[in-house]
Amino acid sequence: MAKKSLTEAFEVKPRNNYSSNNVNDYEIFNDKGLLDELRVKIVQNLIEENIPNDELLDDYINNEINKTLTGYDLSTLERGHIFNLIQNEIMGYGPITPLLEDNAITEIMVNAPNEIYVEIDGKISKDETVSFINDKHIIRTIQRIVQPLGRTIDAANPMVDARLRDGSRLNAIIPPLSLKGPVLTIRKFNKKLESIEELLRKGTLTVNMARFLEASVMSKLNIIISGGTGSGKTTLLNILSGFLGEDERIITIEDAAELRLHQRHVISLETRLTNYEGEGEVTIRDLVRNSLRMRPDRIIVGEVRGKEAFDMMQAMNTGHEGSLTTLHANNPVDSLNRLETMILMNEMEIPVSAVRGYIENAIDLIVQIDRLSDGKRKITSISEVVGMKDGNINLREIFSFKQTGLSEDNSVMGEFGVYKRKPLVMNKLERNGFGDIINIFK
């Protein structure tokens, strides 16, 4: 019987819409079930610990490849590619390895062995190219990913949140907390540092909005970036941070270090989760309090979501101007309500009116960024805090984006607007040499 070539057994096609001569850029789909048979066999034996104790893992993989692909004429390159595919299952990130290597994908969501979704250009779709064998396979992959990070996931610790070595953020939750089965979510770290020019090209904001934000950051206005999940808050925070001065001492505080500032004098602080004994946690609040003793010119908090909001407002009210942070909210008014709630979480006997006065004195601008129905990100509002009225904080919009409809291809149609009145913050901008900004509002 003549030996079959690999192309007789496998259909070979590129994962993405481009041609390549590199075999590692191709995904092999098995017409006759051979690759799936090989993958399931090896992974199942690993899960059930059926590998002989005296056999090395690499030797075991090669032996199984030899037994399964007997009769096929494999080149060294083809054999190496199949070996790498199996190796990814065992030593890498399992079936999702090619998804992690695809730069177009920004988020990976594993809901079940055959339910894997990805986000590309702000849109979520089901990926049909990869799958897990069963729930045990998903859990084993999660355990292998988080173990080198000093984390664990099992029935006693059924939830884990971690940062991968490349900066990507991982969240996993398994039964009994997840009734459907293990769920894995990975938000990939954007290796490409975006700029304000790129946001302008994408239509995220206008030139006048960019000029105004640049002048506001350089004039040390306290700014909150508000938005929903995946709206681009951290990206915008990173870009605005680029306007900070080279002569300033900047302290960044994050749960997972994503900010990449180019200034020389930057101190980056990152929280720490509890260890196996449930001890050693260091929170955002701990780091904010500590940063006040580090002689900062600017404090940048990746996201406020709890009691640290009080300490952040306290810093803004006590001479640490020009602070930047993000929070999760659907609109500028909602962001103020969330701030108020987070401050009241401190269980201090402070009247609500005093809390609102505290916020009103601390915050200058709220920048709202949203992900629209077509996946595109837009800065939909830039508002300033203009005082108190009837016990409530007053906001006044400076710039806005209003949706007017959808095009035939479901792209969002709309227009940016600017209110033709002098913002209160112009006084501070003028004192810092940005008087020409007033021309935007004439």
Boundaries of domain holding 5: 1-91
Same domain, yes or no, for 86 and 180?
Answer: no
Same domain, yes or no, for 236 and 367?
Answer: yes
In whole angstroms, what is the distance from residue 254 CA to residue 272 CA? 10
SS3 (DSSP) at 211: helix
**Residue 398 in tokens:** 């400076």
Same domain, yes or no, for 225 and 291?
Answer: yes
Same domain, yes or no, for 205 and 291?
Answer: yes
**Residue 190 in tokens:** 């954007």
CATH code (residue 153): 3.30.450.90
Residue 53: left if φ>0, alpha if ψ -120 to 50, beta else—which one?
Answer: alpha
Q: What is the reported pLDDT for 12?
A: 36
Same domain, yes or no, for 311 and 437?
Answer: yes
Q: What is the reported pLDDT for 384?
A: 97
**Residue 60 in tokens:** 């075991």
Same domain, yes or no, for 314 and 415?
Answer: yes
Q: How many domains does the chain have?
A: 3
In whole angstroms, what is the distance from residue 313 CA to residue 398 CA? 23
Task: Please compute, for residue 116, the number of CA atoms within 13 A of its CA located in the half-sphere on the CB side.
Answer: 22
Domain end: 170, 190, 210, which one?
Answer: 190
Q: pLDDT tens digits for the chain (442 residues)?
A: 444 333 343 333 333 433 333 433 333 333 335 666 666 677 666 655 666 666 676 677 777 777 766 666 667 777 677 777 676 666 668 889 889 888 889 999 999 999 999 999 878 999 988 888 889 889 988 988 888 777 889 888 899 988 887 778 899 999 999 999 999 999 887 766 678 999 999 999 999 999 999 999 999 999 999 999 889 998 999 999 999 999 999 999 988 777 888 888 999 998 877 666 667 788 888 998 899 899 999 999 988 888 888 888 888 887 788 999 999 999 999 999 999 999 988 877 888 988 999 899 999 999 999 999 888 999 999 999 999 988 899 999 999 999 999 888 888 999 999 998 999 999 999 999 999 999 999 8
Domain end: 190, 218, 239, which one?
Answer: 190
Same domain, yes or no, for 52 and 179?
Answer: no
Same domain, yes or no, for 273 and 406?
Answer: yes
Same domain, yes or no, for 299 and 434?
Answer: yes
CATH code (residue 212): 3.40.50.300
Same domain, yes or no, for 263 and 365?
Answer: yes
Q: What is the reported pLDDT for 90?
A: 65
Same domain, yes or no, for 244 and 360?
Answer: yes
Residue with tokens 């946001």: 199
Same domain, yes or no, for 132 and 34?
Answer: no
Domain end: 64, 91, 118, which one?
Answer: 91
Q: What is the reported pLDDT for 151?
A: 80
Q: What is the reported pLDDT for 4?
A: 39
In whole angstroms, what is the distance from residue 190 CA to residue 169 CA? 11
Residue by residue, DSSP assigns 323-369 as -EEEEE-SSHHHHHHHHHHHHHTT-----HHHHHHHHHHH--EEEEE
